[in-house]
Structure 1
Amino acid sequence: MRFFSAAEIDRLLTFPVLVDALAAAFRGDIVTPTRHHHEIARPDAAGTLLLMPAWTGPEAASAYLGTKVATVYPGNAAIGLPSVMGTYLLMDGVSGAPLAALDGTRLTLWRTAAASALAARALERPHAKRMLMVGAGALSPFLVKAHRSVGDFEDIAIWARRPEAAAEVVAALAAEGIEAHVAEDLEAAARQADLISCATLSREPIVQGRWLKRTAHLDLVGAFNLSMREADDEALQRAHVFIDTEAALHEGGDVAVAIKAGTYEASRVAGTLAGLCRGEHGTDAERDDVTLFKSVGTALEDLAAAMLVWKLAN
């Protein structure tokens, strides 16, 4: 059985190829049972254990199955560790034999960012030039690179509660030849942005709907439970809302929180990522209004990314 480190995953994957692989997976035949959530009591902040299985269906061109075992520990930032960590086990779909173990933390970063880019490719306006990245965690540079793979941005701003954290992301991107700058005023940056991507653990709305340009696209990636929120009710009310899977209606922040509070109706959700990939929804690129994508993550994305790593390495 082979092990793929974070460095090997970085060497093999590119966002254009991964985005296309995810699009094919959402159109294809992959079984994704309900993931298991287990709360882990901790003296500082409760952690979460996630078990996420998926396998290719009988109509798929090749047979694989896999499971991600992931942990989400919000308190890890205080000890210099990522909030999300995990391992992915990829198996042969015919025999069940283990094929590879992959760095699940890195795989999650790649596939999460690629899913946002996939949604943006369908929902973004072709004239989008300004991107605002809200949050400076491990996902931030991946989201910037993913969105750049499907959009032509002339200005990229990074905002974080701690400006020094945003500066670190700017420096990391610069090391890869990507120019970005720190946004000091969140509202001013948001009002100018064509695309706003959020990846935070905020418990209160950060982005206000009244700030959004008429043609803005809002990408909500953080806020993974019902006690978290990145955008306010007005942002949801103004937008054509798309979600990665139906799970976003009852788990994760933002959409599920607003539905539970009665300030937003599930029936208003315009569609899912699978529907976008299958052409079930008309193009939004010409619409003169706000679009919003809420991601809670799905095992389909993990399996598609792991399959791609395996195929590229063999």
Structure 2
Amino acid sequence: MLLLSEAETKEALPFPALIAALEDMFRTGCDMPVRHHHDIKVPGEPDATLLLMPAWVPGRYSGVKIAHVVPGNADRGLAAVSASYLLSDARTGAALALIDGGELTARRTAAASALAAKYLAREESSELLVAGTGRLASNLIGAHAAVRPIRSVKVWGRSHDKAQGVADRAKAEYGLSVEVADNLEEACATADIISAATLSIDPLIKGAWLKPGTHLDLVGAFRPDMRESDDEAVCRGRVFVDTREGCCKEGGDIVQPLKSGVLTPERILADLYNLTRGSHPGRTAPVEITLFKSVGAALEDLAGAVLAYRSVKASMVWK
């Protein structure tokens, strides 16, 4: 059985190949039961979340991710997500690989956003704003730059020092112009793509700030009580999701507007299944504001795990 460290997992999942793998998996499909989602009390700080996410392609591969999401880790200088992924042979049940789940999650999440942007962001989108300073921030920069001609990146966070750290790392890794945005409203007003990856409870991105043609990518706020966008953003935007079932049950940016009546199920125009299979065209006009909400899916983990396994096995053969 292969054991892939964080660094090995990253090396095995370059964004262009990972985005293509996700696109293929959404297009062809797999078996994906509803994930187990459990709150875990952590004394003196916000609840943690335990996720169990299985998926399989009959006769080929099966896998399961065990993940903990711990908001309080930010104060400890630790990553919010800690996870492991077990990939097996779906025909025999034999274990094939144990993959670093934190790196797999970060990269496949960013790749799903980039896959959506491929269909929803204007082709000439060149300015990216990332709201958030966690592990996902730099991954989102790399992933979006793989599908759109990103030349300028701004990073906003509640901590200027953390935002500067993200900017410095992204500049070094991707060779892009990356700077810190101190004013979120001003940064939103000029961005072509806004990617929010926070654990915010209250809306950060206001619909009034969005210029025509903006693509709003909402990655954080993975629980019903969390939210990154306000009602006006939902009203102004053409709404898309990664999976309807997941977002309508778990993502506060969809759950809360549905509950209040601001959003109706019919206004959720498509998910990544529809987009990749061509049953919805995605963006249809340059001036449209598009809003994409993701909560993650076991399908994405499986696609990434299979790609990582195959990549490492192929490199071993060549060596």
Q: TM-score, normalised by structure 1?
A: 0.97
Deviation at 1:260, TM superposition (A): 1.9
Q: Distance in 2 between matches of 1:154 and 1:287?
A: 19
1:168 alignment partner in structure 2 = 165
Q: Which runs of 4+ in 1 moved over 6 A?
A: none
Q: Distance in 2 between matches of 1:242 and 1:126?
A: 18
AA at the equivalent of 2:58: G
Q: What secondary structure is seen at the aligned counterpart in 1 of 2:34?
A: coil
1:142 alignment partner in structure 2 = 139
Encode CA deviations 1:45-87: one digit per residue, 9 max, x unaligned.
21111000000036xxxx0000000011111101111111100
Encode CA deviations 1:266-310: one digit per residue, 9 max, x unaligned.
221011011000001124153421001100000000000000001
Encode CA deviations 1:99-149: one digit per residue, 9 max, x unaligned.
110000000001000000000001110121211110111100000000000
Q: Among 168, 179, 182, which residue is 2:180 paired with? A: 182
Q: Distance in 1 between matches of 2:80 and 2:10?
A: 19
1:292 alignment partner in structure 2 = 291
1:25 alignment partner in structure 2 = 25
Deviation at 1:38, TM superposition (A): 1.1
Q: Does 1:238 align with 2:236?
A: yes
Deviation at 1:218, TM superposition (A): 0.2
Q: Distance in 1 between matches of 2:210 and 2:238?
A: 13
Q: Among 215, 218, 225, which residue is 2:216 paired with? A: 218
Deviation at 1:263, TM superposition (A): 2.2
8 Å CA contact 1:29, 1:57 repeated in 2: no
AA at the equivalent of 1:233: D
Deviation at 1:249, TM superposition (A): 1.0
Q: Distance in 2 between matches of 1:172 and 1:283?
A: 32
2:16 alignment partner in structure 1 = 16
**Further displaced range: 115-124 or 38-47:** 38-47
Q: Does 1:96 align with 2:86?
A: no
2:55 alignment partner in structure 1 = 54
Identical aligned pairs, as a percentage?
Answer: 46
Q: What secondary structure is seen at the aligned counterpart in 2 of 1:30?
A: coil
Specify every segment of 5 or more residues in structure 1 that has no aligned partner in the other structure, as ranges: none
Q: TM-score, normalised by structure 2?
A: 0.95
Q: Distance in 1 between matches of 2:11 and 2:51?
A: 27
1:311 alignment partner in structure 2 = 310
Encode CA deviations 1:188-222: one digit per residue, 9 max, x unaligned.
11000110000000111000001001100000000
2:149 alignment partner in structure 1 = 152
Q: What secondary structure is seen at the aligned counterpart in 1 of 2:39?
A: strand
Deviation at 1:22, TM superposition (A): 0.4
8 Å CA contact 2:242, 2:293 repeated in 1: yes
AA at the equivalent of 1:18: L
Q: Distance in 2 between matches of 1:299 and 1:26?
A: 11
8 Å CA contact 2:170, 2:178 repeated in 1: yes
1:37 alignment partner in structure 2 = 37
Q: Distance in 2 between matches of 1:70 and 1:33?
A: 16
Q: What secondary structure is seen at the aligned counterpart in 2 of 1:301?
A: helix
Encode CA deviations 1:16-39: one digit per residue, 9 max, x unaligned.
111000000001131000000111
Specify every segment of 5 or more residues in structure 2 that has no aligned partner in the other structure, as ranges: 314-319
Q: Among 119, 128, 131, which residue is 2:116 paired with? A: 119
AA at the equivalent of 1:184: D
Deviation at 1:241, TM superposition (A): 0.6
